[in-house]
């Protein structure tokens, strides 16, 4: 079974500072990796995804992530955060099983941007 | 845009009640999912379905059942609600096969409180 580990449950950062949210996965097969964002009182929104090709993936709102197969990591980064980036961020891995696919999520990282 | 609509935003039910959570999607997606979200535990898959009348157990199916009589609707059923089922419930949908790797679309969630 595939699994995802997000080591940081909370990450406080000042506005305009850079941030990195860490994600490690375990899998015995090729993986597809995702980052989702959840703003307060909302559902999850796809931020970016890695399917194949370039290991540096760019997403919405200035976020990017780098797939590192040797370290089994898919860390999310942003060079300069804004107060509106305050949200919970979930890393997920795609797993094909039975007749369909399912996503396995990490436990989430709460990003709190302070002035 | 794909819309995934969850019928209730907030629900309060009594212990022992039978509870129905409804989810409807409007993009003809084959795959539909029910997740439960709890602080510190992330999203955990309860059940998913990749076709009408088809269902597969996720990671935490105990105490839940599902129904998919029509392609667009996926219902989560708590046969006899208990206080440990107080949680945020998220529905998601996505296309079949490799297209699922373009991510799922989530509803806004139903916050269920069992008293």
* Nearest-5° Cα angle at B52, A48 to B98: 30
Residue B35 to residue A105, Cβ atoms within 8 A: yes
Q: Are B13 and B113 in contact (CB under 8 A)?
A: yes
Dihedral angle, C-alpha B50, A24, B59, B82, nearest 10 °: -120
DSSP character for A70?
T
Look at residue A41 in the predicted model and tell me its pLDDT. Answer: 81
Of residues B44, B98, B94, the one with CA closest to residue A105: B44
- Phi/psi of residue B97, nearest 5 degrees: 70, -145
Q: For residue A100, is pLDDT > 60? A: no
| Cross-chain Cβ contact A108/B42 below 8 Å | yes
| B-proximal residues of A, 55-114, CB under 8 Å | 90, 94, 97-108
Q: Please check the confidence at residue B83 and state whether its pLDDT lies above 60.
A: yes
**Which residues numbered 1-40 in B keep a CB inside 8 Å of some CB on A?**
4, 30-31, 33, 35, 40
Statement: residue A98 has pLDDT above 70: no
Strands of B26-61 (E only): list them.
Answer: 31-38, 42-49, 56-57
């Amino acid at each position: 079974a595939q699994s995802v580990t997000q080591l940081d449950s909370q990450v406080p950062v000042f506005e305009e500072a850079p941030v990195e949210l860490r994600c490690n996965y375990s899998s015995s097969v090729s993986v597809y990796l995702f980052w989702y964002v959840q703003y307060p009182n909302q559902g999850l929104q796809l931020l970016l995804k890695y399917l194949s090709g370039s290991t540096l993936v760019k997403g919405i709102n200035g976020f990017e992530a780098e797939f590192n197969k040797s370290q089994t990591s898919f860390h999310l980064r942003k060079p300069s955060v804004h107060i509106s980036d305050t949200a919970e961020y979930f890393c997920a891995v795609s797993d094909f099983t039975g007749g369909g696919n399912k996503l396995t999520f990490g436990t989430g990282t709460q990003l709190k941007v302070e002035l | 845009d794909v819309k995934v609509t969850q019928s209730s935003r907030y629900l309060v039910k009594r212990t022992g009640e039978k509870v129905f959570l409804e989810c409807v999607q409007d993009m003809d997606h084959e795959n539909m999912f029910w997740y439960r979200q709890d602080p510190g535990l992330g999203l955990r898959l309860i059940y998913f379905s990749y076709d009408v009348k088809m269902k597969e157990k996720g990671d935490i199916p105990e105490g839940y059942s599902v129904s998919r009589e029509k392609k667009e609707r996926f219902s989560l059923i708590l046969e006899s609600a208990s206080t440990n089922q107080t949680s945020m419930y998220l529905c998601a949908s996505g296309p079949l096969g490799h297209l699922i790797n373009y991510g799922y679309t989530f509803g806004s969630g139903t916050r269920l409180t069992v008293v």
